[in-house]
Amino acid sequence: NRVLVLNGPNLGRLGTREPDVYGSATFDDLAALCRETGRRLNLHVEVRQTDDEAELIRWVHEAADERLPVVLNPAAFTHYSYGLRDALAQRTAPLVEVHISNPAAREEFRHTSVVAGVATGTIAGFGMLSYVLALQAVAELIAQDAA
Ligand code: DQA
């Protein structure tokens, strides 16, 4: 059961980036947490991060072609990337949108997600726990599907 955990721009800078908003854990800590959660849930978790919209879109196409579930933190692309949204609309497996912070409680421009409408669901505001909850959701969906 392969799952891609994809992360958009600036998330590679977790730990030093606005720690008051995003916490002091680094991206490597986040990747380790996701892989560890995967082992517990019997999922093979692959964690990637890019600042490049084109690269992220290529990964989303790969997931669609290989029918892989995706946990995605689109970061700032959440709020304006119709290119990313159109790529995600081609999905062939569950898609969970995740956010570390709660965008609804922040600036107005973060209240819109162009991704939410093509996601299976969204988990936001739980810090790095958002990713753990998202992976649990994916594991449940896979189990339901197999039943
Ligand atoms: C974020 C929220 C976005 O608004 C922001 O642009 C990010 C991170 C989050 O995980 O809380 O880069 O997706």
pLDDT, one tens digit per residue, over 71-115 is 999 999 999 999 999 999 999 999 999 999 999 999 999 999 999
The residue whose CB lies within 8 Å of the most ligand 1 atoms, and thus the one to mutate among 79, 100, 108, 122, is 100
22 is annotated as an active-site residue: yes
Residue 127 zone, left/alpha/beta (φ > 0; ψ -120 to 50; rest): left
pLDDT tens for each residue of 31-68 = 999 999 999 999 999 999 999 999 999 999 999 999 99
142 is in an annotated binding site: no
Given a contact cutoff of 8 angstroms between Cβ atoms, the answer to whether 22 and 100 are in contact is yes
Residue 125: what pLDDT?
98
**Alpha carbon of 2 to ligand 1 centroid (Å):** 25
Domains present along the chain, CATH in parentheses: 2-146 (3.40.50.9100)
Residue 60: what pLDDT?
98
